[in-house]
């Protein structure tokens, strides 16, 4: 089960958890806080909004700059954001998919080769496709200080992103990379904005038998006040 929270409520919940000194474990790569029980077992997972600073950050950034990069065969939507606001975007399209089979030229190469003219055209457009993507990324990274890189791209296409003649302004092991934990439809501008709305919401992920604990955590249960009232008895921590 899951429950989504707007950015302000997520920040408020994170503050309450920190104030209560609850045992937690933070995963920077996934920007996720996990609440633990007294034995160190994972209980509830709390994915933080991308604009909410990591727990324990001494001096939170006044402004969080990030890039969202969505890539599928022949389609890409990319945008630069500041504190959740999209200031620039670009959509790229390329002739990479074989019409009859509906298979990308990259996948087709692994089984059939590239002898036909149509295949060579698709390969050429594939090369240009990733060069254009990296060119736009280069512009963003030259003009702005980028704090996170939210990406959705299949493992099949990633090697082409990183091996392009126009270099990617980050490595595949860059700690700022953030894999978007959401299914992405064909990347267009509206899908880019939808992905951003998702990243601006916090998400509590839990099992059904933990519903009462979540209600307690959020103060939804009648009779419970701020986090901590009746907390130790209910959670047995």
The CATH number of domain 65-195, selected from 3.40.640.10, 3.30.2350.10, 3.40.50.620, 3.30.420.40: 3.30.420.40
Q: Do domains 2-49+201-235 and 65-195 have the same CATH topology?
A: no
Distance between CA 2 and CA 4 in Å, rounded? 7
Residue 116, CB-side half-sphere exposure with 13 Å CA sphere: 9
Tokens of 120: 């060579």
The pLDDT of residue 119? 54
Give the pTM.
Answer: 0.82
Distance between CA 95 and CA 74 in Å, rounded? 6
The pLDDT of residue 86? 98
Query: Is 178 in contact with 50 (CB distance < 8 Å)?
Result: yes
The pLDDT of residue 182? 95
Q: Give the distance, in angstroms, between the CA of residue 198 and the centroid of all CA atoms in the same chain.
A: 9
Q: What architecture is the 2-49+201-235 domain classified under in CATH?
A: 2-Layer Sandwich (3.30)
From first to last of its 237 residues, the chain has per-residue pLDDT tens of: 899 999 999 999 998 888 888 899 999 999 999 999 888 889 899 999 999 998 877 677 789 999 999 999 889 999 999 999 999 999 999 876 555 554 554 554 454 555 454 454 456 578 899 999 999 999 999 999 999 999 999 999 999 999 999 999 999 999 999 999 999 999 999 999 999 999 999 999 998 888 888 888 888 634 323 333 333 333 222
The pLDDT of residue 54? 87
Query: Please, which residues have CB within 8 angstroms of residue 84's CB and are 6 or more apart in sequence?
Result: 7, 50, 51, 196, 200
Q: Give the distance, in angstroms, between the CA of residue 106 and the centroid of all CA atoms in the same chain.
A: 25
Domain ranges, ordered by start, for the chain? 2-49+201-235, 65-195
């Amino acid at each position: 089960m899951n429950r989504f929270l707007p950015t302000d409520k997520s920040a408020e919940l994170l503050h309450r958890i920190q104030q209560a000194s609850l045992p937690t474990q933070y995963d920077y790569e996934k920007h996720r806080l996990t609440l633990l029980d007294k034995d160190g077992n994972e209980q509830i997972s709390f994915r933080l909004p991308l604009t909410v600073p990591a727990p324990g950050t001494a001096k939170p950034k006044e402004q969080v700059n990030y890039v969202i990069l969505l890539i599928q065969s022949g389609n890409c939507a990319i945008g630069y954001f500041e504190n959740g606001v999209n200031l620039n975007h670009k959509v790229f399209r390329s002739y990479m998919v074989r019409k009859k089979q509906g298979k990308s030229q990259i996948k087709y190469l692994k089984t059939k080769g590239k002898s036909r003219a149509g295949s060579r055209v698709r390969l050429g457009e594939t090369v240009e496709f990733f060069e254009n993507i990296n060119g736009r990324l280069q512009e963003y990274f030259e003009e702005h200080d980028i704090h996170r890189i939210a990406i959705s791209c299949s493992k099949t296409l990633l090697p082409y992103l990183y091996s392009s003649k126009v270099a990617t302004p980050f490595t595949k092991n860059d700690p700022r990379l953030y894999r978007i934990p959401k299914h992405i439809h064909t990347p267009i501008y509206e899908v880019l904005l939808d992905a951003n709305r998702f990243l601006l919401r916090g998400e509590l992920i839990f099992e059904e038998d933990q519903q009462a604990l979540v209600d307690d955590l959020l103060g939804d249960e009648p009779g419970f006040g701020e986090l901590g009232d009746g907390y130790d008895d209910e959670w047995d921590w």
